[in-house]
Chain A
Amino acid sequence: MMTAWRIAKYVTKKNKRFIWLYSRKNLTRRWAWTISNAPFNTAMYWPIGAIKIMKGQELLLKCETKEIADAPQPAEVLLPLRDFDIKKDKKKLKEDLPVKTGQQLKPGFFSTVTGTIKGFGPLTPAVAEPIYLRIAVSDSEEIDPLLQAEPDFLEQEPQALLEKLNRANLGFCEELQPVDTVVVSAVDEEPLIMVYGQLLRENKERVFAGLRLLKHLTSAQKVVLAVPQPLYSFVSGAAADGIEVHSVVPRYPNGLPEILIRDMAAAYNVDSHLFLNVEKLLAAAAALTDGKPFSHKVVTVIDKQGAGNYRVRIGTPLAELLKDRRIKDNDKVIIGGPFRGSTCFDLSMPVTAATDCIYIQDENEVAFFHNNQCLNCGRCVRACPVDLDVNLLGRYAEFAIFDQCLEMDLKNCIECGLCAYVCPSGRSLVQLLRLAKSEGEKLESELEKEAVNVLEDKQEENKEEKDGERLS
């Protein structure tokens, strides 16, 4: 992983020479490198030192303390509709219908505010279908009476607890299946995000209460809390029987759920598992102890001026959250981290339950990808956390040979984005792999149909043959 580090300036202090290196223009990532009493020209050394320092510094997960501030109440929230059915939903969700926080509006769909329904809305003229429900927020907050506090939850039946959790907008399955391990991650998924670590710092007791709840709920043998290395000593003392703490190196792909579980599978003998992040866990604990639904999401907002953590009501339009931030034309607003996030085309898009981070990229920081030829240098292969031959896959996708892609375990790709990140040619590899995935799925379903047809034909032939034999 080679980033072009430049020497920004030399500083000499107490016979030690500091070199400030910078990698990106405006993101504050500078690293000091010291040589005591350096007798030689330090510039002679710099490639060696720089390599030591830059070994993927950009990929490090931030484990900083960043206090969570409350974002102001929005005037209106937008909730993304699931399984939209225009006839049924328009009857049920009429305009001016008062709703309470946590009220179930349709199966699996909950209100996150108290207010009145304003109707369905397409976001922009560009999107024709009504995919959002608009709710005007009222000043006072009322929580749905169905949600009740259950302080002594450990004595209740798991199935009853699960129903209560599902009523609190947590989206678990309806029925419990036996698992042997529950994995709870407090490792932020991508660099720049500072949500889970901070939540763990602020709510240590509650996290462990939640872990006991999960153990009771799933009757799993082990509950493992994965934390980034800097936080390990902070929580390791609280590990009790059946609850273990796992330390994770805070580098980028290690925090992704798929990678986290794969790395833990060997160490903890994971066969079947349930995966949760700390925020969901805290929401589950809050739903039982306080009777609160999952209505707020912690979001890291990052731009040139700096980063901040905000507790935002789910459904708040980004325009309201980013009121104070300066966003110009040709900037990029990324919902999610720099590696897996999707870009926002309109600031009226809302914060959803899956939004961890909003990263505002300045116009001159935007990375450009091209349709250049592959050099075959193999950097993507070495960067890939799931050992795919990305260089070949990219070329197969480029030339529309999708059946070969399927043969090369394309389905294992988790779209972490590291291949495109390291590519010196700047090929948009993630885009190519996504294309190959969707085309491969189409191809597979076609093949399946063909196979079924062939099978049926054969059966008919056999029948005819048998009939012929009988007749003769």
Chain B
Amino acid sequence: MKLVVSSPPHWRVKLRESNIHRDFIIALLPALIFAVYTYGMFAVRVISLAAAAALLSDVLIRKLFRKPATFTDGSALLIGLLFGLLMPPGVPYWVVIIGAFLCIFIGKEIFGGLGSSPLNPVLVGWTIIAISWPAYVNFSLSTAHYNLGLDFQYPLIMLKNGGAGFVSDFRLIDLLLGKQVGGMGAAAVLFLLAGGLYLLLRRVVTWEIPLSFAAGVLIMSGIFWAANSEVYANPLFHLLTGNVMIGIFFLSTDYSSSPFNKWSMVAFGLGCGFLTVIFRAWGIEPDGVIFAILIMNLFTPLLDKLKKQPRPLQVSYMEKR
């Protein structure tokens, strides 16, 4: 009789890595639908182009590197979708294609593929695009051609230029419902929140990073606001604008670039929150979320040392094994 032989354990949970990426994509769906609802075919064009470019470059690069194809696990699709949702609707097609390719190539594959990238791949691609062609990623300009029934100014630019008095017109409920100019999916705060809760419930993402990120933003902007409420906006405004909500649930929680120990995750989230508000208050760019996450990504190996040391185990001596 031929019996199967293996090393232990002999059970395995039914969770697979492709299920994790599938859950992330499901959690993005509300924001995707919102983007398509608001921007119509422009959103469809950018997002599908980004997703297709990411998938295709994943396939091509894996082939070039002579590695087994991994596009079926959904990670490339997730990167493409996230990249598309960070873009404004009017961005030219070649910017999207180059960006998605850079996400996959420089962000992910150069470091050894899934799980090995020290920086969040989406943010790497976005940063290169934003620094190389800043005009195309400018939210206020790129939406100027469309009549969306919105205020055409990116709230954070107004905050940067004119202080808190300029943004007092924005109602928080409008910001929450996504009636603001911004990245196509990043502006859909409520829908991202729903997706994020789904991720938390499915335990794809643990509570530490999202909660501490939000707390970090609120605490730091609270300090600024308390110091000078005429120049600095109130904490909830900071929480509901820009890329904060997509950063909290989808960008900062990327497995490979964030810490894995409990308290290191809390420190990571707090750091992201603090840096976001500091960049918004004193930086050149209007929104600091992406740079904050990128910088905290670099601290990940250091933060992972924040853990309790393994306790030595006692050895029983009397019984022979």
Using a CB–CB cutoff of 8 Å, the interface residues on chain A facing chain B are 1-4, 23, 47-48, 51, 58, 108, 171-173, 177, 179, 257-258, 261-262, 265, 270, 273-276, 280, 327, 329-334, 336, 338-347, 359, 361, 363, 366-369, 372-378, 381-382, 386-389, 391, 409, 412, 414-415, 417-418, 420-426, 428, 430-431, 434
A375 engages B20 (CB within 8 Å): yes
One of A1, A334, A378 near B13 (C-beta < 8 A): A1
Is B149 in contact with chain A by the CB < 8 A criterion?
A: no
B8 engages A342 (CB within 8 Å): yes
Is B1 in contact with chain A by the CB < 8 A criterion?
A: yes
Across the interface, which residues of B come within 8 angstroms of A382, CB to CB?
A: 206, 260, 262
In the complex the two chains form, what is the Cα distance from A433 to B291 in whole Å? Answer: 37
A173 engages B318 (CB within 8 Å): yes
One of B1, B14, B311 near A387 (C-beta < 8 A): B311
A428 engages B319 (CB within 8 Å): no
Chain A: CB-nearest residue to B112: A373
Interface string of B199-210 (1 = CB under 8 A from A): 001110010000
In the complex the two chains form, what is the Cα distance from A414 to B309 in whole Å? Answer: 16
One of A47, A179, A333, A389 near B202 (C-beta < 8 A): A47
Across the interface, which residues of A come within 8 angstroms of B6, CB to CB?
A: 332, 343, 366, 369
A420 engages B5 (CB within 8 Å): no
Nearest chain B CB to A142 CB, angstrom units: 27
Nearest chain A CB to B200 CB, angstrom units: 10
A387 engages B307 (CB within 8 Å): yes
13 contacts between A and B (CB under 8 A): A2-B202, A2-B203, A3-B14, A261-B314, A262-B313, A336-B8, A346-B3, A376-B255, A376-B260, A381-B260, A381-B261, A389-B260, A424-B16
How many A-B residue contacts, CB cutoff 8 Å?
Answer: 195
Nearest chain A CB to B121 CB, angstrom units: 13
Across the interface, which residues of A come within 8 angstroms of B317, CB to CB?
A: 173, 177, 274
With contacts A51-B203, A177-B317, A412-B312 taken as known, whether A434 is within 8 angstroms of B7 at the C-beta atoms is: yes
With contacts A331-B3, A388-B310, A412-B310 taken as known, whether A261 is within 8 angstroms of B316 at the C-beta atoms is: yes
In the complex the two chains form, what is the Cα distance from A388 to B309 in whole Å? Answer: 8
Is B114 in contact with chain A by the CB < 8 A criterion?
A: yes
Nearest chain A CB to B300 CB, angstrom units: 10
Using a CB–CB cutoff of 8 Å, the interface residues on chain B facing chain A are 1-17, 19-20, 112-116, 198, 201-203, 206, 255-256, 259-262, 304, 307-314, 316-320
Nearest chain B CB to A147 CB, angstrom units: 20
A387 engages B8 (CB within 8 Å): no
A257 engages B9 (CB within 8 Å): no
A387 engages B19 (CB within 8 Å): no
In the complex the two chains form, what is the Cα distance from A341 to B9 in whole Å? Answer: 7
A172 engages B115 (CB within 8 Å): no
B313 engages A258 (CB within 8 Å): yes
Given contacts A274-B319, A375-B20, A387-B310, 11 further A-B contacts (CB under 8 A): A58-B11, A261-B316, A331-B3, A336-B8, A361-B4, A377-B255, A377-B260, A412-B313, A418-B9, A426-B16, A428-B7
Interface centre among B4, B11, B309 (most CB of A within 10 A): B11
In the complex the two chains form, what is the Cα distance from A16 to B308 in whole Å? Answer: 46
In the complex the two chains form, what is the Cα distance from A376 to B19 in whole Å? Answer: 15
Main secondary structure of the interface of B (DSSP, over half): loop
A374 engages B11 (CB within 8 Å): no
Across the interface, which residues of B come within 8 angstroms of A426, CB to CB?
A: 12, 16
Nearest chain A CB to B305 CB, angstrom units: 10
B319 engages A330 (CB within 8 Å): no
A374 engages B115 (CB within 8 Å): yes
Across the interface, which residues of A come within 8 angstroms of B255, CB to CB?
A: 375-378
Chain A: CB-nearest residue to B198: A47
Across the interface, which residues of A come within 8 angstroms of B201, CB to CB?
A: 47-48, 51
Across the interface, which residues of A come within 8 angstroms of B206, CB to CB?
A: 382
A430 engages B9 (CB within 8 Å): yes
Across the interface, which residues of A come within 8 angstroms of B16, CB to CB?
A: 424, 426
Nearest chain B CB to A308 CB, angstrom units: 19
Nearest chain A CB to B267 CB, angstrom units: 15
With contacts A424-B20, A426-B16, A430-B9 taken as known, whether A171 is within 8 angstroms of B319 at the C-beta atoms is: yes
Across the interface, which residues of A come within 8 angstroms of B262, CB to CB?
A: 382
Nearest chain A CB to B71 CB, angstrom units: 14
Chain A: CB-nearest residue to B9: A417
One of B4, B17, B19, B316 near A343 (C-beta < 8 A): B4
Across the interface, which residues of A come within 8 angstroms of B260, CB to CB?
A: 376-378, 381-382, 389, 391
B9 engages A367 (CB within 8 Å): yes
One of A258, A421, A428 near B11 (C-beta < 8 A): A421
In the complex the two chains form, what is the Cα distance from A415 to B313 in whole Å? Answer: 13
One of A172, A378, A387 near B308 (C-beta < 8 A): A387
One of A58, A327, A340, A409 near B8 (C-beta < 8 A): A340
Nearest chain A CB to B187 CB, angstrom units: 27
Top 4 A-B residue pairs of the complex, sorted by shortest distance between their CB atoms: A378-B260, A417-B9, A4-B14, A367-B12
B13 engages A422 (CB within 8 Å): yes
In the complex the two chains form, what is the Cα distance from A329 to B113 in whole Å? Answer: 38
Nearest chain B CB to A423 CB, angstrom units: 8
Across the interface, which residues of A come within 8 angstroms of B3, CB to CB?
A: 327, 329-333, 343-347
A421 engages B12 (CB within 8 Å): yes
With contacts A373-B116, A422-B13 taken as known, whether A378 is within 8 angstroms of B261 at the C-beta atoms is: yes
Nearest chain B CB to A369 CB, angstrom units: 7
In the complex the two chains form, what is the Cα distance from A422 to B260 in whole Å? Answer: 15
B4 engages A331 (CB within 8 Å): yes
In the complex the two chains form, what is the Cα distance from A418 to B10 in whole Å? Answer: 10
Nearest chain A CB to B18 CB, angstrom units: 9
Chain A: CB-nearest residue to B202: A47
Nearest chain B CB to A246 CB, angstrom units: 16
B312 engages A273 (CB within 8 Å): no
Nearest chain B CB to A205 CB, angstrom units: 24
With contacts A332-B6, A344-B3, A347-B1 taken as known, whether A389 is within 8 angstroms of B318 at the C-beta atoms is: no
Across the interface, which residues of A come within 8 angstroms of B304, CB to CB?
A: 389
Across the interface, which residues of B come within 8 angstroms of A108, CB to CB?
A: 320
Across the interface, which residues of B come within 8 angstroms of A265, CB to CB?
A: 314
Nearest chain A CB to B205 CB, angstrom units: 10
One of A171, A262, A361 near B10 (C-beta < 8 A): A361
Chain A: CB-nearest residue to B4: A332
B12 engages A4 (CB within 8 Å): no
Nearest chain B CB to A355 CB, angstrom units: 14
Chain B: CB-nearest residue to A372: B17
A339 engages B9 (CB within 8 Å): yes
One of A171, A179, A347, A424 near B320 (C-beta < 8 A): A171
